[in-house]
């Protein structure tokens, strides 16, 4: 593991630690969604901080209620991170080809925009 990976890992752990301690609902220190502040619409990522805070505290149903799209976006993100941290080789290349396949990427792009429309029509 290189220095770059260690720095990223430390930053992620520190960010998760801060999010574990500070509830985004209760603290003004936590950033707000600029898109929602400007337009009044919920972006596809709105609720991510609150959902992650709930997940860190083991409240899975509450986390899902904050942002349903995260139910399949977060596992994909974790798989991408895991693939990047894998040692270079055949397994890493197979995982990269699968995760970056045009149909998989297209699915996530389409679902991202579909979630944006659905959540604003139904006020989810």
Closest CA to 50 of 95, 29, 92, 19: 19
Question: What pTM value is reported for the model?
Answer: 0.80
105: tokens are 């990427």
Mean pLDDT computed over every residue of the chain: 92
Yes or no: say if 57 and 20 are a contact pair by the CB < 8 Å rule.
Answer: yes
Q: What is the pLDDT of residue 1?
A: 65
Mean pLDDT of 33-46: 93
Describe the chain by its helix, strand, coil percentages, rounded to 5.
70, 0, 30
Q: How far apart are CA 58 and CA 76, in angstroms?
A: 20
31: tokens are 């950033």
């Amino acid at each position: 593991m290189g220095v770059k990976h260690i720095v990223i890992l430390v930053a992620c752990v520190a960010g998760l630690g801060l999010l574990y301690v500070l509830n985004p609902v209760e603290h003004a220190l936590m950033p707000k969604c600029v898109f929602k502040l400007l337009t009044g619409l919920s972006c596809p990522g709105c609720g991510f901080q609150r959902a992650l805070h709930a997940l860190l505290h083991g409240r899975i149903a509450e986390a899902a209620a904050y942002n349903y799209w995260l139910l399949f976006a977060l596992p994909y993100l974790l798989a991408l991170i895991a693939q990047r941290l894998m040692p270079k080789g055949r397994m890493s290349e197979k995982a990269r080809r699968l995760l970056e396949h045009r149909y998989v990427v297209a699915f996530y792009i389409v679902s991202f925009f579909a979630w944006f429309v659905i959540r604003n029509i139904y006020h989810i």
